[in-house]
Structure 1
């Protein structure tokens, strides 16, 4: 049984327990990428919880960045994708900023936040993004995102981009995670320069 099939069975069982009124992903949502992103988020959360507050300001596995920079980057990544999807749902365009460290000066400022605020940034942003994913309609999943280089991809590509970000982020925290712990798909996709663009209105 594939990862998606296992997750589908689990979700159907959960629906039966929760009953009517609960919100779920659209039937045509990219189940495997969403599962990979959600599992990566949970893994990042576990690695973050292992770190005492003081160690958040120690160097990460990325030269020149602290672990606080990594946490802020992951939080911003989720927050901007969520805002883009909210705007998409309203028929508006939200321009996603480039999230590379050298092009986002506010990342340095965020990395000085108290540990509690950093943890809240991560927690709240990932909940926000997950809600946005669940609110997307079948039609919206098949609309297009315009990337910075002018190319377009379906909205359904975004969970895969997020999956790469969170799995790479867990590795970047530098507190014991090994490359071997990365799922194969995420390992291939996990690059520090991720495609960022804007949500198209058509």
Structure 2
């Protein structure tokens, strides 16, 4: 690597934000620009993958569930072409199974929505290997149940019928549970 490339890596503040919630995307883009990032917004997996193919970003904030697919595809693409990038996953449907999967595919952190710009900045710029302090409040019984259902759902490759069969639950009941946000 030449000196110019090394200097570029240290000063590269390009940030790809992929989220299909347009108002959230615009607010986060403005907030991150005010913190010194050069923001590249994308509203879909396709747009995110296109941006990655043109110029892989140094940082990325990617929503997990998008209208045209899974945001983890964008994380994986970034990691393939730019292994030094720092990407985090945002989701309104947070669970342990998808967090583990996101980290395996190259995300450095996983945040549940609503996350503010300061939390996102802290996650993007945290030292590699830095330990996260444990939560002050343990999960509720409803949350533990929800996490278990999500874990089985991911194990079944997001197949509702197979998940319902394994959990000995009616398929429609499972669909209602999956459509709701995670309990606190």
Q: Which has the higher strand share?
A: 2
TM-score surpassing 0.5? no
Q: Which has the higher helix share?
A: 1
> Taking structure 1 as the reference length, what is the TM-score of the superposition?
0.25
Which gives a bigger RCO, structure 1 or 2 (Cα 8 Å, sep 6+)?
1
> Taking structure 2 as the reference length, what is the TM-score of the superposition?
0.27
